[in-house]
């Protein structure tokens, strides 16, 4: 199973995003290889918030359209909605303390804890630095650091 981060899902959905084609292609290839994708309610909420924000995009989605995309993903056969169990909550709190993460890292840490408890190691994200501190995820697509 591959964890899909909000940043990746946003690029997949928004045509004007510079990584739109790359994210579409990567998800299509993974689906063709019968991969499944791990998503959470938090990722969906953040997605709707971001894609409907007119300060971020020249052509933002309205909330109804964004919600329709989330519904598509939530009902897709390739998607597993990951539970946020007591184990996730405990790990989330542990990591906030262990890595001394503040309020701007709350959701990323909760997503990472959910992936960890769900056994996910490979993630699709355009913000690999958000998850690097945990040292347990393989981020795709790989950024060229040259």
Question: What pLDDT, in 10s, does the model give residues 68-99?
Answer: 999 999 999 999 999 999 999 999 999 999 99
DSSP state, residue 18 = T
CB burial readout 33-55, b (16+ within 10 A) else e? eeeebbbbebbbebbbebbbeee
Question: What pLDDT, in 10s, does the model give residues 92-128?
Answer: 999 999 999 988 999 999 999 999 999 999 999 999 9
Domain locations along the chain: 2-83+120-140
Beta bridge partners of 132: none
Task: Say which CATH topology domain 2-83+120-140 has.
Answer: Rossmann fold (3.40.50)
pTM for the model stands at 0.89
In the β-sheet with 37-39, what is the strand arrangement from edge to edge? 79-81, 37-39, 2-4, 122-124, 138-140
Question: What pLDDT, in 10s, does the model give residues 62-73?
Answer: 999 999 999 999
């Amino acid at each position: 199973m591959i964890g899909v981060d909000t940043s990746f899902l946003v690029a997949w959905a928004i045509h004007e995003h510079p990584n739109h084609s790359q994210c579409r292609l990567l998800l299509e290839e993974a689906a063709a290889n019968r991969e499944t994708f791990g998503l959470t309610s938090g990722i969906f909420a953040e997605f709707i918030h971001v894609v409907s924000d007119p300060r971020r995009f020249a052509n933002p989605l309205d909330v109804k359209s964004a919600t329709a995309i989330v519904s598509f993903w939530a009902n897709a056969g390739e998607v597993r909605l990951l539970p946020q169990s007591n184990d996730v909550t405990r790990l989330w709190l542990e990591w906030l303390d262990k890595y001394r993460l503040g309020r701007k890292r709350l959701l990323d840490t909760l997503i990472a804890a959910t992936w960890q408890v769900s056994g996910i190691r490979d993630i699709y994200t355009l913000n690999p630095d958000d998850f690097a501190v945990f040292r347990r995820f393989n981020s795709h697509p790989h950024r060229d650091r040259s």
